[in-house]
Structure 1
């Protein structure tokens, strides 16, 4: 991994949110690459339940200030950063008052998914790409973790198809067993289509369920990692029929060698 540039884009990340399979691996995979001489950037949403004072988040004025158009609405993009001290890893947070100020991640106190989770996912995908463009940092690999990040492969390959910074980037999506019940807003397809993304590319988002979001992510990725021991059977069968590299589940204790080898021998091969 020496010298390789890897962009990690995640729904959740320890130590900023509670530990679960997604948040833990979103930390451990970058730590592994960092320890092996790779260059990394990590992006996640700045949810309102992240303690900014304790984790010393601060706004990066030079990266903030643009508006992203979401379903014909101008939404200000704010970029904040923090460092994971013991690893010297910097994390970039995608923020917007309307989408991420509330004191929760994906659902309200009654467990109901936020009705604008679809727009939050679109905003997150666009915000990551626009910020990386400002950084002028061309990643060799872009590794996706968690469903809130699942639209990024689609947007990179369709909306940002002509962006030279990502022309040679390889996309990897990790699929976890942790998802959500039900589906996101039934208007999600129309909101994505507003960005001139062909309807044929998002037919599977009917409805926009967890499984269907991850199918879209897998479709637009160059490789897939099965990151949990128990993954919905529908997703397992779908991934098994893809004509692209797939890393089967490996126990946490064995992931470092498996991921590093997969990156080098499968993801980066031309």
Structure 2
């Protein structure tokens, strides 16, 4: 992976949020690329339960200040950055007071999904792309972890289809076991269509369940990694029907070599 550029886009990541399957692999996979001589950029949402003082987040003024349109509303984009001690790894945080100030990630204190999670995902996808454009950094691979990051492949392939910076980029989506029950807002498909994305390209979002959001992600990806030992049977069957590279599950103790070979021999070949 020497000198290859890999953009990691994650819903959550240690050490900023509690350890789970997504947050662990979203940290370990860029660390692996970094250790093997690759160049990396990492993006995640700046959720309100991330301790800014402890992790020394600070705003990057030259990257902030843009407004992103979500469902006909202008939403200010704030970019913050922090460094992971000992690893020489920098993380960019996508922030907006309306979407990310609350002291929780995806659900309220009663475990109910936030009603605007769909808009938060749209804002996050656009925010990542617009910031990478400002950095003028063209990735060889874009690797997506977690459902709140999973609109990125769709937006890159459809909304930003004419953006030359990503013309050669290959998209990899990691599929994890079901991260939420139920559905996001029923209007999600219309909010995505507002951005000029055709209905037949997002028909699965008529019912924005976890499985259907991931189907849209893998449809717009070049390759897929099964990141959990067990994933929903419906998703498993969907992945088995794909005519694109799919890496079977590898444990966190053996993923490094497998991911590295997959990147080099399947994704970039």
Question: What's the TM-score, normalizing by structure 2?
Answer: 1.00
- Give the whole-Å Cα distance in 1 for the aligned partners of 2:239 and 2:222: 12
Q: Say which SS state the counterpart of residue 83 (structure 2) adopts.
A: strand
Q: Is 1:117 aligned with 2:117?
A: yes
- Give the whole-Å Cα distance in 1 for the aligned partners of 2:183 and 2:115: 10
Q: CA deviation at 1:178?
A: 3.9
Q: Name the counterpart of 1:198.
A: 198
Q: Name the counterpart of 2:6.
A: 6
Is contact 2:178-2:211 (8 Å) kept? no
Q: Name the counterpart of 1:36.
A: 36
Q: Say which SS state the counterpart of residue 205 (structure 2) adopts.
A: coil
Q: Name the counterpart of 1:237.
A: 237
Q: Name the counterpart of 1:155.
A: 155
Q: CA deviation at 1:251?
A: 1.5
Deviations 1:79-115 (A, max 9, x none): 0000001101000000000000000000000000000
Q: Is 1:266 aligned with 2:269?
A: no
Unpaired stretches in structure 2, ≥5 consecutive residues: none
Q: Say which SS state the counterpart of residue 7 (structure 2) adopts.
A: strand
Q: Name the counterpart of 2:166.
A: 166
Question: What's the TM-score, normalizing by structure 1?
Answer: 0.99
Q: Name the counterpart of 2:67.
A: 67
Q: CA deviation at 1:206?
A: 2.1
- Give the whole-Å Cα distance in 2 for the aligned partners of 1:72 and 1:252: 42
Deviations 1:102-137 (A, max 9, x none): 000000000000000000000000000000000000
Q: Name the counterpart of 2:180.
A: 180
Q: Name the counterpart of 2:105.
A: 105
- Give the whole-Å Cα distance in 1 for the aligned partners of 2:13 and 2:260: 20
- Give the whole-Å Cα distance in 1 for the aligned partners of 2:73 and 2:177: 33
**Count of matched residue pairs:** 269
Is contact 2:64-2:77 (8 Å) kept? yes
Deviations 1:164-209 (A, max 9, x none): 0000000000000141000000000000000000001110112000
Provide the alpha-carbon RMSD of the alignment.
Answer: 0.4
Q: Name the counterpart of 1:48.
A: 48
Q: Say which SS state the counterpart of residue 158 (structure 1) adopts.
A: helix
